[in-house]
Each structure stands twice: as structure tokens, then as C-alpha cells.
Amino acid sequence: METNHRILVIDDNETIHADFRKIIGSARPGDDQVEAAAAETILVAEDEWVVQTLTVRALRDAGYQTLTAADGEQAVRMFERHADAIALVLMDVVMPKLNGRAAYQRMVAVRPGVRAVFCSGYDPTTGEAGLLAEEGRRLLQKPFDPETLLRTVRDVLDAVNQEEALPCLA
């Protein structure tokens, strides 16, 4: 595998083009943020490998512990095994096997009040993303930069209650 700022070559048959400078950026949290993050675990449910990898990298660089899932069903199973340790779920809206909204509803059945941030590359006013926006769920529009990701995650985690975390469309 070879990387530079603009292209990731996985093998001779597949090339993914992305501007990693925008995705990775140079977000470096302050010492107080790293300290707070060190005790928090985030479940990242994302079916696109590159997006999942870069999201996890940004979160880990900021001091968060991460768990990952590549589809909605796997996310629910991971949540069931680690429900007490997970501070927040960061979920793609559209995933194989079970969409993010349905997976989140199953997680809430296990642990009511679990905090969540949803991510979507689709129009945030339509489909599942639109329903989440109507419910007031926090929605990150893809592509997002690390600063926006980390600020949104911190805002949701620092909210005194879930209702404070609801204003959406970061």
C-alpha cells in the first residue's frame, strides 16, 4: 500500500482518490481534551473502509478508545458486548444489513439514552438522514474534517443530557 496526500493505492486493480489533507487535517486537541477522551470509548460503525480508517485515526489521535463495525448488525452485536463501556456511537446512516437508524433503535433498547452522532453523504433532508434530522439527531455531513468530527463528538459527550446533544446538522 502506498499513500500520499491525494491518492491511496490499495492494489493494481483498485485506486481510491481522496484529498487526505482535508480528511486527516491537523487537528490536535489540547491536553485537557486528550485527558477527557482517554476514558471514553466510541463505537464507529461505517461500511466504507477508508472513511472508517480515517475516522478512527482522528479519534485515536485525540485520545479516544475506539471499537469498529462494518455494518449495522455488527454494530449492534458490538454494542451489546460493550454497552457499559461505550460513551458514544458514531454511525453511518446507510449501511449494509441494518441501517444506522434501525441499529441505533436496537442499541437504545439495550441501553436507553446512549449518545449518538450519525454521518451521511446523502442529502440530509431526505430518506433516513431526513428522518434523523426530524428527530433532532446530530448529523455530520460527509465529507467532514477532523476538527468538525472532534468538536461534534465532544459537544455530544459534554451535553448534560441527551436533549442538549440533539441540535443537528453540524
Residue type, 103: A
Domain assignment of residue 15, yes or no? no
Domain assignment of residue 94, yes or no? yes
Give the count of domains, the chain: 1
Domain assignment of residue 133, yes or no? yes
Residue-wise burial string across 82-110, b where 16 or more C-beta atoms lie within 10 A, e elsewhere: eeeebbbbbbbbbbeebbbbebbebbeee
DSSP per-residue codes, 31-98: HHHHHHHTT-EEEEE-SSHHHHHHHHHHHHHTT-EEEEESSHHHHHHHHHHHTTTEEEEEEESS-SSS
Count of residues for the chain?
170
Domain assignment of residue 3, yes or no? no
Mean pLDDT of the chain: 76
Domain assignment of residue 4, yes or no? no
Q: Please tell me whether residue 7 adopts helix, strand or coil conformation.
A: strand
Domain assignment of residue 12, yes or no? no
* pLDDT, tens only, 103-162: 999 999 999 989 999 988 776 555 554 455 555 577 888 899 999 999 999 999 998 655
Domain assignment of residue 14, yes or no? no
Domain boundaries, position 160: 28-165
Domain assignment of residue 103, yes or no? yes
Confidence grade of residue 11 (pLDDT, cut at 50, 70, 90) = very low
Instruction: List the CATH number of the domain containing 66.
Output: 3.40.50.2300
pLDDT at residue 136 in the model: 56
